[in-house]
Structure 1
């Protein structure tokens, strides 16, 4: 293992399970353990503080937007300086303070400020982390490595949401207060986030020693001009989908809406527990399918698997717009998990395949920045539609995914296989 960590791209092996892949997986495991303690309770917390569906959609969209917009700058800095480990460490350190502040908030306006701050850390670390991960394995096995990364990410999410449920069960009878128990879960999640920083100190980044003078002097505009045309085509596809792929917070709050519609007398404990249990189910499916979808993308092509993911999202949105049954909604969250497994890591691997070796950070950052802009408007539109008629929000997402699917196959996006990166 030590050999893998010191030399993550050994010329003598094509194995994808390198030291960096493992360490970055552990980092994501602990980060998502913390983050997904927060995710299923955050929309409930905002609602308990008086926030409407529009507020929930806007906070979710704004948080994602800040994270994604910052990535273009962190990616550029990573490409220019090669100091990816330092950016990753800062990005995983910031969320502790923001999450602690959210847990201590007494008004949704405070969450409106602190949630984007928490996502700022995600924005700083995302592009350099994905760039380092891509450099740690061969071209042929990137899908599998990114799939493993997503699996570790969602495994942490399962443990985190289970921990949130355990805290709810243990302390609800003691506190007997919805707002109090939600605050406790959020504060504990902040301290858990510190564990994500430890594995970063053991990462190896040979790129730090290989930055040329030309790259050090290059501007962000120079880097953007150097991105290939096929990548810009993929940007159009991803940005379009970003408008329809609105925040998961609205999906979660919908579980409570459907539950109360089916059983208006459901206890406060059940109203809190059902969204968390549903979120655990979502992450179980997400985790189980992440590596298979990654491997299938290596075998059958990124575009085809990404298209399958879009189809799953269309099915999910159609189901959410039609059902009033909590059990069916629970099952649909499993399909939603499959959609995420088929698109999240695959989308990044697809983008990396289209990028030059020395511009991966900038390219990934630009991709996620544009998706961030789209998510602000997508979250607002979906939030307003949800307040007017909840089914309209999900129909909106499904229609955008359908249009994206047509555009994806209407564009000729070809991947040129690079020279063996081990040479």
Structure 2
């Protein structure tokens, strides 16, 4: 894998300092990061309040929240398969990415207008379709633009900027809930603004590179022959990612955990602020580090952090401990999400990157659906402690599984 064989790429990385790395990352990747950041500000202003809004205002059960969250994310994942494959077939990625951001922006006004749970489900569903349309083409576009020796840093940077939005959004939600005396709809309306700024930025600032003439044309990206071309190493990475995802569940349960210890409604978004701050601060440095060291070791550290998060959240008795557990959860995301994307980019053929990210997101999205439904059912039956202890048990199994396949995966790649 590029940057891991001790050759010139690795030497180049060793002699570039971090500010130098940031300057070397192409402008379009920075722009994609800020596009993601703005859309995340919008989405997280809404999502930081949505689980509590559904449970306390609309009277839905926690199991229903788990199912809705899982279906929403699975919808995005299924859509990513087709949009990723379509971007390979067209040989164009920016158009589909912009379309996905546009659809998400135009559905944001549904949230403040919704008067029933059915409307909220519809809004969440359509919003996630937009996410699904943009996800795989955008990630493939990052892989197309990024220099091979800066691929980990590039994915880490985009992920980090994306996650900056994920803690600015809840912070804005907290301030606006205080200013509006817990007026949910007013906060949802203000969240519409950064979504449309995001769409304008991708249209103006992101430049898609010309498709190399020597790159093979893909006629039917989802045909089994093309999926076979993705290779055994790619499918091993997908398998690892799926088990990773089964070991965690929707961040909605972190919000509900904070509510369960009596945190006031207006302060509930602090949970996502803490998680996203830890995620954002770790994603870029870990991306840079992954261009120099063994990526599977970093993934294993990420799982240990998830195990710690589950144990702390299971036994937390006040918000300080919940905050520590949530911080561990964010660090685990920073150690794993960008690395998995980098591994997908490096193990898949260039002409099939859109399809590769699409299949990766489909499998992990279905795993997240299963994990969220199980978590919701456990919460209703055994409370928050049962949910997080079950997460810890599955994480321990995942750690064992990762080390079991480590030698096999390393035998197929330089990671």
Corresponding residue number in structure 1 for 2:121: 112
Q: Following the alignment from structure 1 to structure 2, what is the Cα–Cα distance between the partners of residues 255 and 206?
A: 45
Corresponding residue number in structure 1 for 2:402: 408
Give the match's secondary structure for 1:247: coil
Report the CA distance between 1:70 and its aligned residue: 1.1
Corresponding residue number in structure 1 for 2:179: 170
Structure 2 residue 186 is the aligned partner of structure 1 residue 184 = yes
Q: Following the alignment from structure 2 to structure 1, what is the Cα–Cα distance between the partners of residues 305 and 103?
A: 34
TM-score by length of 1: 0.87
Structure-2 change in CA distance of 1:166 and 1:210 (3 Å):
farther
Say whether the 8 Å CA contact 1:82–1:207 is kept in structure 2. Answer: no
Aligned-pair RMSD on alpha carbons?
2.0
Report the CA distance between 1:273 and its aligned residue: 2.4
Say whether the 8 Å CA contact 1:157–1:283 is kept in structure 2. Answer: yes
Report the CA distance between 1:114 and its aligned residue: 2.0
For these two proteins, the number of residue pairs brought into alignment is: 389
1:24-423 superposed matches below 5 A: 24-47=32-55, 48-172=57-181, 178=182, 181-201=183-203, 202-208=205-211, 210=213, 214-216=217-219, 220-259=223-262, 271-389=264-382, 390-411=384-405, 412-414=408-410, 416=413
Report the CA distance between 1:158 and its aligned residue: 2.2
Report the CA distance between 1:213 and its aligned residue: 7.1
Say whether the 8 Å CA contact 1:290–1:342 is kept in structure 2. Answer: yes
Q: Following the alignment from structure 2 to structure 1, what is the Cα–Cα distance between the partners of residues 281 and 216?
A: 44
Say whether the 8 Å CA contact 1:103–1:183 is kept in structure 2. Answer: yes
Say whether the 8 Å CA contact 2:313–2:326 is kept in structure 1. Answer: no
After superposition, the C-alpha distances for 1:268-293 in whole angstroms (9 at most, x for unaligned) are xx621222123212222222111111
Q: Which runs of 5+ in 1 are unaligned?
A: 1-12, 173-177, 260-269, 419-423
Structure-2 change in CA distance of 1:39 and 1:146 (3 Å):
same
Report the CA distance between 1:109 and its aligned residue: 2.7
Q: Which runs of 5+ in 2 are unaligned?
A: 1-19
TM-score by length of 2: 0.89
Q: Following the alignment from structure 1 to structure 2, what is the Cα–Cα distance between the partners of residues 304 and 405?
A: 11
Q: Following the alignment from structure 1 to structure 2, what is the Cα–Cα distance between the partners of residues 35 and 61?
A: 16
Report the CA distance between 1:218 and its aligned residue: 5.3
Q: Following the alignment from structure 2 to structure 1, what is the Cα–Cα distance between the partners of residues 222 and 370?
A: 29
